[in-house]
Amino acid sequence: MTKLTKELIERGRAGELSLLGSAINEMMNREKLTFQQVVFEYNRIGLSYALAKSAYTEFRIDEDLLQFQESRRAHS
């Protein structure tokens, strides 16, 4: 279970976008929150909308690529 912390937000700002995006996704699923609610809730510790959007987008792209690669391996 990944928790959204100030340190994790700083790591995302430093370039680890997919890691931050994964934590955002996990928070949305676990707490049944919308993306906007997560941003609002964690804005006080430095999560901006732009950073969250970039991180979540990077995470989703990485997930899609992983699924595509697994699908190709299964059909090879």
pLDDT at 2: 72
| Rg, Å, the chain Cα set | 13
Where in the sequence is the domain holding 53, given as residue range(s)? 1-75
The closest of 55, 20, 18, 52 to 38, measured between CA atoms, is 52
pLDDT at 46: 96
Q: Which residues of the chain have pLDDT under 50?
A: none
Please count the structural domains in the chain: 1
Element (H, E) at 13: helix 6-13
Rounded to whole angstroms, the Cα distance separating 69 from 52 reads: 26
Judge residue 52's burial from the number of C-beta atoms within 10 Å of its C-beta, 0-12 exposed, 13-18 middle, 19 or more buried: buried
